């Protein structure tokens, strides 16, 4: 009797499912829409499931996208020796994707991506920053506030502060005034964050420079920091806000594109303009892999000053695969479409 085909299982949490849970938990309509927009890559990548399936079939493996709520039941049926789990979105608080790699570990199924403990760490910016600092990485000093009270006061900063929710991504809770000059203003912003999202606020010392995104996909299992894609992300502003992000992706982004409000930031290789900064960023990438344990697929955000000073802002274990920057990385580094890069990565793990 022939063996069943090797299978890539992609587990994802839909925006609509997340919104239903947020509304049931008492969040307002606007807040539920904003928070669930973090899962926009699930909406966008679903449009390419057929293309991914075809790319996988060309490599002799099958592709099965599975919604998070169905994951436990489905994983109980697979041949664990011929299956690979790829978790599309993380989450431990407002989102639940961090459960997927844990379910795979419980069943003894190999995964694409970092250890499931890092799925929890990356969703807590304050704790993640403390760990990165302890590992000797160049992260800005930060404090933590809850609804106008300091949990951990930030150090004095002559450059002011940048305030953002602690457990939310995709620029949720980042407004045009999120950069502020005083600790009192930072506490005021923490009250707004708590009122809107019930979240603590990370208060980082503001650091100057251009925004940089470093992306990584180990299409080849031997890939290392030289396979990072390191790009300036120029949006025409000092930083992107929640409204900027919601105009790019998912359910809300589809409406923005239909109405002509879609505008992608420009990507420029850091190597071309600041080779020393590029070298330092790749060293940071190597440290994140060696010291923190990032692997397979991840991204991290930085600020780079004109004198090549590099500031590590945060890391992400589930980068936005269908986002413009990750697609550009797959094309420039691997010469592949997103679907082909996903399929090739999975085949190089399964067919060994």
Residues in the chain: 352
At 89, phi and psi to the nearest 5? -135, 145
d(C-alpha 211, C-alpha 84), whole Å? 34
For CA atoms 22, 324, 333, 55, give the dihedral sign: positive
Q: What is the full DSSP assignment across 250-314?
A: HHHHHHHHHTT---PPEEEEHHHH-HHHHHHHHHHHHHIIIII---SEEEEEEEE-TT--EEEEE
Q: How far is CA 63 from CA 79, 111, 216, 278, 341, in A?
A: 14, 14, 22, 36, 14
pTM over the 0.75 mark: yes
d(C-alpha 322, C-alpha 44), whole Å? 6
d(C-alpha 249, C-alpha 230), whole Å? 21
d(C-alpha 317, C-alpha 339), whole Å? 19
Q: Which residue in 243, 316, 324 sits closest to 97, CA to CA?
A: 316
pLDDT tens for the 352 residues of the chain, in order: 566 689 999 999 999 999 999 999 999 999 999 999 999 999 999 999 999 999 999 999 999 999 999 999 999 999 999 999 999 999 888 999 999 999 999 999 999 999 999 999 999 999 999 999 999 999 999 999 999 999 999 999 999 999 999 999 888 999 999 999 999 999 999 999 999 999 999 999 999 999 999 999 999 999 999 999 999 998 776 667 677 666 665 555 555 555 555 568 899 999 999 999 999 999 999 999 999 999 999 999 999 999 999 999 999 999 999 999 999 999 999 999 999 999 999 999 998 7
* Inter-residue contact 125 to 174 (CB < 8 Å): no
The per-residue pLDDT for 312 is: 98
**Per-residue tokens: 251:** 């359910």
């Amino acid at each position: 009797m022939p063996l069943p085909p090797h299978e890539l299982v992609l587990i994802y949490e839909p925006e609509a499912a997340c919104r239903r849970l947020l509304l049931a938990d008492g969040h307002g309509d606007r807040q539920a829409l904003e928070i669930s927009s973090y899962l926009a890559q699930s909406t966008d990548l679903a449009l390419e499931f057929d293309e991914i399936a075809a790319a996988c079939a060309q490599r002799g493996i099958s592709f099965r996208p599975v919604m998070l709520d169905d994951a436990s039941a489905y994983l109980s049926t697979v041949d664990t020796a011929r299956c690979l789990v790829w978790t599309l979105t993380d989450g431990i608080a407002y989102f639940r994707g961090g459960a997927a790699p844990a379910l795979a570990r419980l069943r003894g199924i190999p995964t694409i991506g970092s250890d499931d403990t890092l799925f929890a760490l990356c969703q807590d910016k304050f704790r993640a920053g403390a760990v990165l600092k302890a590992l000797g990485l160049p992260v800005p000093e930060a404090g933590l506030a809850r609804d106008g009270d300091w949990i951990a006061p930030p150090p004095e900063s002559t450059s002011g502060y940048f305030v953002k929710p602690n457990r939310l991504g995709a620029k949720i809770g980042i407004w045009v005034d999120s950069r502020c000059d005083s600790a009192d203003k930072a506490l005021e912003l923490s009250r707004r964050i708590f009122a809107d999202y019930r979240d603590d606020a990370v208060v980082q010392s503001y650091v100057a420079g251009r925004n940089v995104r470093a992306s990584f996909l180990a299409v080849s299992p031997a890939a290392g920091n030289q396979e990072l894609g390191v790009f300036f992300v120029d949006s025409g502003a000092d930083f992107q806000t929640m409204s900027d992000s919601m105009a790019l992706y998912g359910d809300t982004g589809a409406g923005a594109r239909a109405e002509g409000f879609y505008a992608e930031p420009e990507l420029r290789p850091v190597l071309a303009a600041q080779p020393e900064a590029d070298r330092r960023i790749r060293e940071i990438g190597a440290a994140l892999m060696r010291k923190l344990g990032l692997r397979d697929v991840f991204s991290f955000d930085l600020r780079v000053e004109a004198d090549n000073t590099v500031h590590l802002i945060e890391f992400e274990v589930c980068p936005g695969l269908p986002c413009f920057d990750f697609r550009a990385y797959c094309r420039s580094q691997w010469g592949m479409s997103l679907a082909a890069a996903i399929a090739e990565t999975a085949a190089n793990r399964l067919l060994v």
